[in-house]
Chains A and B, each alone.
Chain A
Amino acid sequence: GENVEQHPSTLSVQEGDSAVIKCTYSDSASNYFPWYKQELGKGPQLIIDIRSNVGEKKDQRIAVTLNKTAKHFSLHITETQPEDSAVYFCAARKADSSYKLIFGSGTRLLVRP
């Protein structure tokens, strides 16, 4: 079955710096890769996603890149702000399972003021 590995488990950056979180997946049939942000006391919130027919997607300060050959995808946050501090989860979904998301173990991001 699909396995998603996420690194690093914790990340501390200075406000204004960039943050990069990386995930690798095992099943080459996976075709949808969302990223979720989970703040303290809240459930995960979708922040950006990418499909396998696209190599990069941006939304303001957030971008996701996908390398299908290497089977890895990354979240990039530029000009980080203290409110970006949260736990971020990547996930992968197989083409034949419309709802089953396999999640990474999460990255705790701390943005220091």
Chain B
Amino acid sequence: ETGVTQTPRHLVMGMTNKKSLKCEQHLGHNAMYWYKQSAKKPLELMFVYSLEERVENNSVPSRFSPECPNSSHLFLHLHTLQPEDSALYLCASSQDTGKETQYFGPGTRLLVL
């Protein structure tokens, strides 16, 4: 248990659906991250938030929309996704963006039909 939880753990959605992924960290950290993990590819950093402000948007398509209402919660809103967006979406947190150690949640396995 790393102190980072994600819900749901599994999600199947159609290309016209709208869904949201949720991440919560119980570590008192100030920085949170979204990563995409596809089969046989390196983890890809998508978004970084520091003290609820976005500090990184790594050329992610607009069909992915992050939201960070406070330093403990992070959402990823999904709409009109494509089948190639199917992947494991990982949330992570760190004490702040200057601290290297990132703690990962278990991920949400997303399948887009």
- Residues of A participating in the B interface, judged by any CB pair closer than 8 Å: 4, 9, 32, 34, 36, 41-46, 49, 89, 93, 98-106
| B42 & A105 in contact (Cβ 8 Å cutoff) | yes
Report B33-56 residues with CB < 8 Å from chain A CB. 33, 40-43, 45, 48, 56
| A106 & B56 in contact (Cβ 8 Å cutoff) | no
| A49 & B101 in contact (Cβ 8 Å cutoff) | yes
- Residues of B participating in the A interface, judged by any CB pair closer than 8 Å: 2, 4, 31, 33, 40-43, 45, 48, 56, 90, 92, 94, 97-107
Question: B98 to chain A: which residues have CB within 8 Å?
Answer: 98-99
Contact partner of A105 (CB less than 8 A), chosen from B40, B94, B105, is B40
Question: A34 to chain B: which residues have CB within 8 Å?
Answer: 100-101
Question: B4 to chain A: which residues have CB within 8 Å?
Answer: 43
Question: A105 to chain B: which residues have CB within 8 Å?
Answer: 40-42
| B97 & A45 in contact (Cβ 8 Å cutoff) | no
Q: How far is the CA of A19 from the CA of B11 in the complex (A)?
A: 35
Quick one: given A99-B48, A100-B56, are A45 and B42 in contact (CB under 8 Å)? Answer: no
Closest to B1 in A: A42
B27 → chain A closest CB, angstroms: 13
Which 5 A-B pairs rank lowest in CB-CB distance, beginning with the nearest?
A: A43-B104, A103-B42, A103-B43, A99-B97, A98-B98
Q: How far is the CA of A105 from the CA of B38 in the complex (A)?
A: 10
Question: B103 to chain A: which residues have CB within 8 Å?
Answer: 46
